[in-house]
Amino acid sequence: MFDRSAALALLQLGDSAFPAGGFAFSWGIEGLAADGLLSNRGDLDGVIADHLAQRWASMDRILLRRAWQANDIAAIAAADRLAEATTPSAEMRDGSRRAGRALLGVWVKLSGPLAVSYRARVSADANLGHLAVVQAITGRDAGLGLEAAELVSGWTLITGLVSAAVRLGLIGHIESQRSLATARARLTELLAETPDDDAMPSSFTPFIDIAVSRGPLRHVRMFTT
């Protein structure tokens, strides 16, 4: 049965206009373009596919599920520390924390009870606040189910990557819709597979990681990552 309320919540939380600061992160799109490794929609679709299969599904989704299933703040923090320990790139760690803390800050202002409780823990530990963990917290505060929270997490990654490509002038708005449709189909396939509860987070996106890590060396940057 179609749940209108849930669908509207997904539209709100998955909207690029939701003020979570996602516009500041390209997650490697800017760096790959600067290095000559991304110049058209075909390249972009390949990068998005890598992000989804080799990082989001095997790492971010696993961390989100661990934080979702946590029964107290300490258990959520344990998932957060796992995110810190399993992200080898310093720039990706920093970007994940900055994005997560921005999203957490929005939900604190919206009086999300779990977000408010966790904000105190994050304020006391500079290594906490990773995006996937905060997405679990805010999903719970929003009254979403786990599957819906996973969908929002994957979709906001996709829209962030496509939006970055548009802002960098790599693709136009019509091409962006084709990329979104392609990525949407891939996300649907990944969401159909349920990870094991004891799965450990892992990722393998070397070109993306290198592009992000080279960011501080670039003279001109539009994005944080």
Question: pLDDT by residue (tens digit) across 83-99?
Answer: 999 998 899 999 999 99
CA within 13 Å, CB half, 97: 21
Q: Mean per-residue pLDDT for 52-78? A: 97
What local confidence, expressed as pLDDT, does residue 178 receive?
Answer: 97
Task: Quickly count: other Cβ atoms within 10 Å of residue 127's Cβ.
Answer: 14
What local confidence, expressed as pLDDT, does residue 103 receive?
Answer: 94
What local confidence, expressed as pLDDT, does residue 124 receive?
Answer: 96
| Res. 215: pLDDT tops 90 | no
Q: Mean pLDDT over all residues of the chain?
A: 92
Closest CA to 175 of 25, 42, 50, 52: 42
Cα 161 to Cα 53: distance, rounded to the nearest angstrom: 14
What local confidence, expressed as pLDDT, does residue 20 receive?
Answer: 73
| Res. 2: pLDDT tops 80 | no
Share of the chain above pLDDT 70, in %: 98
Helix, strand, coil tally for the chain in percent (to 5): 70, 0, 30
| Res. 220: pLDDT tops 70 | no
Return all residues near 62 (Cβ < 8 A) that are at least 6 apart: 195, 199, 200, 201
Domains present along the chain, CATH in parentheses = 26-217 (1.10.4190.10)
Radius of gyration of the chain from its Cα atoms, rounded to whole angstroms: 17
The confidence band for 19, taking pLDDT boundaries of 50, 70 and 90, is confident
Q: Mean per-residue pLDDT for 22-34? A: 88
What DSSP designation does 49 have?
H
Question: pLDDT by residue (tens digit) across 118-159?
Answer: 999 999 999 999 999 999 999 999 999 999 999 999 999 999
What local confidence, expressed as pLDDT, does residue 132 receive?
Answer: 97
Question: pLDDT by residue (tens digit) across 159-168?
Answer: 999 999 999 9
Question: pLDDT by residue (tens digit) across 42-60?
Answer: 999 999 999 999 999 999 9
